[in-house]
Structure 1
Amino acid sequence: MTGARVHSAKRGTAQPADGGNTVAIIGGGLAGMSAAMRLCSAGFDVTLYEAHDRLGGNASSIKRVVPGENAPKTDQQNADKTAIEQDVYPHMFCDWYDNFWDLYEHDLGRKRDDYFSPRQGVSMLRKGDAQYSRLLNNTSMEALVENMQSGLLSPAETFLLGYSMLDLAAHPFDRSSFDQLNKLDVNGFIYSRGYSTENVAEMENYILTLIWSIQSEETAAATYQNFLRHCFKFPDNSPFSWLLKGSLDKQLIAPLREELEKRGCRIETGATVSTVRLCDDRPKIRWKRNPADKRAHVNSYDYLVMAVGPAALTSLVMGGDEHTSEGKRLISCEQSLSQLQRMSAVPIPVVDVYFKHKLDLFPKDHVGLGGSKYGLTVLDISQLWSDHDFDGKTAIIIAASDAASIPSASCNGQGWLMLQELKEFYPGINIGKHWRDPDCDIDWHRTNARSNVDYPLFLNSVGSWGWRPEAAYPNTMPRVFFAGDLCRTDVDMATVEGAVQSGFQAAKALQKRDAALTGKGIRGPEIRVIAHTTYSTASFRAAKLMLMPLAYGALAMTAYDQWKAHLAEGATPLGKAEFSLSEYLLLVPMQFTMDWLKGAYWLVRALSDGGEDDPLKTGILYKALPPVGDGDGEHRGQTGAADGDAAGLHAGDDGHEDHVIDLGAATLMALGECASYASKHLSGDMKKADGTPVSPAVAAAGSVLGAAANIGGTIISALQKQGGSATDPYIRRWRAKR
């Protein structure tokens, strides 16, 4: 059979057959499975290796066998058993994850609404508060106003928090690996802003720690910029995220595995790959089903995709003496990969808590416990998982994003401390006096604590862009490719979308390299990476400039509130600190003038020459990169064009290009949303010149005009995308305002 592997009698070695299309993928997480899905569809002979017993990686579930519901406490060993699924991590799937949704809806043929539940935002509970605060995705005027009134911060500082994110999205970064001034962290960026306050900096740090387990002073500002650019979708009214209505394995990973097997993919779970070598450029891997086995399997392939985490990837690239095994080490072929040793990852401890009865304490959103010692989040899965029978009882997942703060190394020790911290926010829960105390509200048979040391999450630390691998190194390793959320993509931040996109990206690069090496053209249907839709650089900068007076006005309000607080305390309002906010207010006019002039300059640069995202073709904002995986492009390693901002978002169709909404369309959409909101909420208070109220007809006309402007901007954006990329089969489904 064409493309089949032929096994030799010696040491179980497999040699590539004449078909030349054999591919090994190391790593069965979402990145590896995504690459396998595309390559199998293109006609490649794929074998997927995963070290754990289950596929999915950080998106996997753990199957636990526990005593049955009615098992007697005195005879747990012989009691009836039942199996339950517990996710390694709780995940949010953002609405803009276009490549992930294409994989789920197109490849698996599943409707999003059937298996996911939409969420407009997240909830937060502060210690001692009786009510939750809710933070919505800023996709409508209603959401903006509600966020201002959420109580998380004062309305003025809530506005400054949102403005700081807009400012970061508009900032001109030069992503050079060696440009020290541009190795800026998020906290440093906020500190450099003239409108910054301590509360805004603390909230930004809390958000980053909660979601990515990394402090703001360690997070790369340019990387966070890319995430924010994709999240800004005003006005869209789409959900912020979607939550799976069941376990990750049952609703996502198992269907993916089933589909892969239908497409001919061979899957080896519990298979630990220990060595990777290149023999005449072809990859050869050594692996064992059981690490204790004395006999190792050695297989050769035409191509290799490496889709594992930082530690495993570093070990496979760097590991071993070159003379202990036949062939070359990867690091000997591509020395820039030595930077992989700089990358870091951390696990997030998780506790699955099952209660003996129903608790009406938790909303349906993800909940952040504001001010918790360990950065705790809570998700009530008993209100979400429709495929599990919780018998009317409550089950929650607690995750500790700041694991380094937990003073315990054992799983149960960490779990108990997390439960104690949970009780500080929910005093009515009886957790008992110690772990597995039977006299409490917790069902200990099902409850489980995990340190997740085998499932660490990649950290987007400052400078990490220069260390992260590309999809392909055509000049030095033409048959080796890389995938995973640690790889360079336009998503940049470690996310589910980053993992899936990197898998598609690696598969696309492999397909193109195969065509170049064989000279027979593209094998199978051409693999494409779906482009995201973002606002243009000019749009972000125009919004920043327009809202800047309001930002400094909000700063003045915050300073005035602080001044009143000092007076109420009987303290001197000025000079209390070395440099108080009230004193700083004296410099605000000068700071505002300088900021406005700089903002205007960068906006003009973005608009000049008609190239919004490469002004004057200087490459200062977006330096051109060679197409990702293009074998004809010059390899850039860790130097050269690696200093392109935003990962070469606009490198062309062969790269991972974003669709951009230009300033004209963005302005129409924003004005339409504002007009609709004004006519809907303010018409009753609007007066004519003679003092009489505006008629309902006029208010209705304003609403119609606003909706028309909104829809007009959407249509312009869609037409521009069609005209700018006629070969791209995918256009994002922008929703008209509901």
Structure 2
Amino acid sequence: MTERVAVLGGGVAGLTAAHELSRRGFDVTVYEAGERVGGKARSVPVPGTGDPPLPGEHGFRFFPGFYRHVIDTMERIPDGDGRTVADHLVPTERTLVARIHGDHRRADVGTPDTLGEWFSRIRPAGGEVPPREAAFYTERMLELLTSCERRRRKELDEVTWWDFLEADRMSDGYRAQLVEPTQALVAIQPRRASARTVGRVYAQLLVGQLDPRVETERILDGPTSEVWLQPWREHVESLGADVVTGARVTDLELSGHRIAGATVDHGGDRERVTADRYVLAVPVEVAVDLLTEDLRRAAPSLAGIRHLETAWMNGIQFYLREDVPVVAGHQLFVDSPWALTAISQAQFWNCDLRERGDGEVEGVLSVIVSDWNEPGRVYGKPAKECTPGEIREEVWTQLCAHLNREGRERLHEDLVVDWFLDPELRQTDDGVENDAPLLVNTVGALKHRPPADPEVPNLYIAGDYARTNTDLASMEAADEAGRRAANAVLDDAGSTAQRCRVWELSEPSIFEPLKAQDRVRYRLGLPHPGRARTQVRGALRDLLA
């Protein structure tokens, strides 16, 4: 008899689990709370902008070179035109690091061609950081790359990125260029971020730039749901799965040591769902509400998710009368109090925006706000205390302050046809509330993250908060978590089907001998060799101070 699997959540993790299990013969039903699959990755039609409408989104998507799980999945999804959705990935060329004062920097993201270019990639932040501090930063990155895994898990996960890089004693340029950009990467302050997580991801991004076999950074050639997520849903359904949207899970029913059912809300109508196995693929803040005291007792490994933290990282799109490419890639606005990043999308999209809305739009500037707690420049309030209209004005003002310089006006108000704020932000009397926060990797979070197979025999965890090799909350981690949950289902069901492939993060093999040396030192209770040298230098500095 075919086993029935209820996948509770239709984001990237849930769709991955459904994809892998349905193609292996399981009877799968996906229950997604929203009207569209894909979770935070989805794009949405902007209400009131015509037919077809303009595309909006939670935030722009990008696919760095170290993504392997999600790319492999995309390579197995037909796009309906004889290709796969992976064929809709296009490379960026460079990143703009914009300042209000000081020089802008355009960094190539392709593989270096000359020896000089290789050294320029490794040297941090060009000439904006004092040489001694740049050398210290490089030492710290090498310490990360040469630390054994046990040291990373036991020591580096308990240290903030700020303290690991000793930011308090460094220059403003060091902090602005090398420490604080984590705000745009993982949506949290470097004073809270785990050095293990941030350092590993930075290393992956750097290695990706230096590896000629991979594209350093890619984006989709159209709105995400149109070129990826909707074809994915259709493919999963073609494999025999059912996908039900507008179906929010509200309760997990525990009977003995097993899940006996789940309650799903269809816009006020409740349904009791039963299956042989249940894959929980909802966001972490939703999962916390579903974990009753009885369920936490039955599955102690799930109790820790109450301690996982989230932050805000939401987007706004500006629809422009003229396309303003700025740079053929992403833009980082380092002097913006709200930690803005952006990309001008029309230059990459294989669609004509003039055929959407009222025909006036030729460009889309998609912006992500990563710091919602710092006061803005216009109203002096944090983003979360602003109205949607105030958020729009603040973001536009901060963009203009960076891009309209030296007599050149790239952005002006007359360009804006319309704008769209992430619909997960609800206006309240005090500003906005966020219905879709992002999991963040704070110090010590690793020990609270659950495995794919907790102690309840027919319950499985798929979400970017599960324990994965990828670690960072991302589409890649979600895809990996979906694969791990599918593999756990296959194991428990005694299936003979091939298991889903799971990759380790790839690091340069040149560091393996040094990692082996550090494994010995860690077992002996000794510090990392680089840390020992730093401690000696610090002691000498204190003596001479």
Q: TM-score range by the shorter chain?
A: 0.7 to 0.9
Asked whether the equivalents of residues 350 and 415 of structure 1 are also in contact (C-alpha less than 8 Å), the reply is no
Q: 1:417 aligned to 2:394?
A: yes
Secondary structure in 2 matching 1:97: coil
The residue type equivalent to 1:341 in the other structure is R
Q: 1:240 aligned to 2:216?
A: yes
Instruction: Tell me the C-alpha RMSD between the 2 structures.
Output: 3.1
Secondary structure in 2 matching 1:274: strand
Deviations 1:699-721 (A, max 9, x none): xxxxxxxxxxxxxxxxxxxxxxx
Asked whether the equivalents of residues 347 and 403 of structure 1 are also in contact (C-alpha less than 8 Å), the reply is yes
Q: Distance in 2 between matches of 1:234 and 1:415?
A: 34
Residue 349 (structure 1) aligns with: 314
Asked whether the equivalents of residues 111 and 209 of structure 2 are also in contact (C-alpha less than 8 Å), the reply is yes
Residue 385 (structure 1) aligns with: 349
Residue 338 (structure 2) aligns with: 374
Q: 1:117 aligned to 2:78?
A: no
Q: 1:47 aligned to 2:29?
A: yes
Asked whether the equivalents of residues 361 and 417 of structure 2 are also in contact (C-alpha less than 8 Å), the reply is no
Q: After alignment, is 246-255 or 417-426 more displaced? A: 417-426
Asked whether the equivalents of residues 120 and 239 of structure 1 are also in contact (C-alpha less than 8 Å), the reply is no
Q: Distance in 2 between matches of 1:240 and 1:176?
A: 25
Q: Distance in 1 between matches of 2:146 and 2:171?
A: 20
Residue 537 (structure 2) aligns with: none
Distance of aligned partners of 1:159 and 1:90 in 2 relative to their CA distance in 1, 3 Å threshold: farther
Distance of aligned partners of 1:118 and 1:358 in 2 relative to their CA distance in 1, 3 Å threshold: closer
Residue 238 (structure 2) aligns with: 262
Residue 415 (structure 2) aligns with: 441
Deviation at 1:186, TM superposition (A): 1.0
Deviation at 1:283, TM superposition (A): 3.7
Deviation at 1:533, TM superposition (A): 3.1
Q: Distance in 2 between matches of 1:234 and 1:63?
A: 34
Q: Distance in 2 between matches of 1:187 and 1:541?
A: 26
Q: Distance in 2 between matches of 1:386 and 1:620?
A: 56
Deviation at 1:534, TM superposition (A): 2.4
Q: 1:507 aligned to 2:482?
A: no
Deviation at 1:249, TM superposition (A): 0.2
Q: Distance in 2 between matches of 1:333 and 1:24?
A: 20
The residue type equivalent to 1:528 in the other structure is R
Asked whether the equivalents of residues 31 and 502 of structure 1 are also in contact (C-alpha less than 8 Å), the reply is yes
Kindly indicate whether structure 1 or structure 2 has the higher relative contact order, using CA contacts under 8 Å at least 6 residues apart: 2
Residue 28 (structure 1) aligns with: 10
Distance of aligned partners of 1:146 and 1:469 in 2 relative to their CA distance in 1, 3 Å threshold: same
Deviation at 1:338, TM superposition (A): 2.4
Residue 215 (structure 1) aligns with: 189
Residue 540 (structure 1) aligns with: 511
Q: Which has the higher strand share?
A: 2
Q: Distance in 1 between matches of 2:523 and 2:336?
A: 47
Residue 92 (structure 1) aligns with: 62
- Name which of 511, 516, 537 aligns with 1:606: 516
Deviation at 1:392, TM superposition (A): 7.6
Q: 1:127 aligned to 2:100?
A: yes
Asked whether the equivalents of residues 61 and 88 of structure 1 are also in contact (C-alpha less than 8 Å), the reply is yes
Asked whether the equivalents of residues 9 and 282 of structure 2 are also in contact (C-alpha less than 8 Å), the reply is yes
- Name which of 387, 398, 403 aligns with 1:426: 403
Asked whether the equivalents of residues 152 and 158 of structure 1 are also in contact (C-alpha less than 8 Å), the reply is no
Asked whether the equivalents of residues 472 and 509 of structure 1 are also in contact (C-alpha less than 8 Å), the reply is yes
Asked whether the equivalents of residues 46 and 55 of structure 2 are also in contact (C-alpha less than 8 Å), the reply is yes
- Name which of 446, 471, 476 aligns with 1:497: 476
- The count of aligned residue pairs is 491
The residue type equivalent to 1:38 in the other structure is E
Secondary structure in 2 matching 1:31: helix
Deviation at 1:212, TM superposition (A): 1.3
Distance of aligned partners of 1:394 and 1:150 in 2 relative to their CA distance in 1, 3 Å threshold: farther
Distance of aligned partners of 1:85 and 1:181 in 2 relative to their CA distance in 1, 3 Å threshold: closer
Q: 1:60 aligned to 2:42?
A: yes
Deviation at 1:103, TM superposition (A): 0.4
Q: Distance in 2 between matches of 1:616 and 1:38?
A: 41
Secondary structure in 1 matching 2:373: helix
Equivalent positions of 1:553-702 (< 5 A) are 603=514, 606-607=516-517, 615=520
Deviations 1:273-324 (A, max 9, x none): 110022241441011111x33xx21122111111121210101113xxx7xx
Secondary structure in 2 matching 1:416: helix
Q: Distance in 2 between matches of 1:236 and 1:505?
A: 27
Residue 225 (structure 2) aligns with: 249
Distance of aligned partners of 1:33 and 1:86 in 2 relative to their CA distance in 1, 3 Å threshold: same
Deviation at 1:200, TM superposition (A): 2.8
TM-score after normalising by structure 1: 0.61
Where in structure 1 are there 5+ consecutive unaligned residues?
4-20, 69-80, 323-328, 433-439, 516-521, 543-602, 608-612, 622-738
Distance of aligned partners of 1:128 and 1:60 in 2 relative to their CA distance in 1, 3 Å threshold: same
Residue 128 (structure 2) aligns with: 153
Q: After alignment, is 209-218 or 527-536 more displaced? A: 527-536
- Name which of 352, 355, 366 aligns with 1:397: 366
Q: Distance in 2 between matches of 1:24 and 1:491?
A: 25
Asked whether the equivalents of residues 283 and 304 of structure 1 are also in contact (C-alpha less than 8 Å), the reply is no
Q: Distance in 1 between matches of 2:451 and 2:78?
A: 28
Residue 7 (structure 1) aligns with: none
Deviation at 1:55, TM superposition (A): 0.5
Greater gyration radius: 1
Residue 304 (structure 1) aligns with: 278
The residue type equivalent to 2:319 in the other structure is Y
Asked whether the equivalents of residues 65 and 82 of structure 1 are also in contact (C-alpha less than 8 Å), the reply is no
Equivalent positions of 1:511-526 (< 5 A) are 511-515=490-494, 522-526=495-499
Percent identity between matched residues is: 22
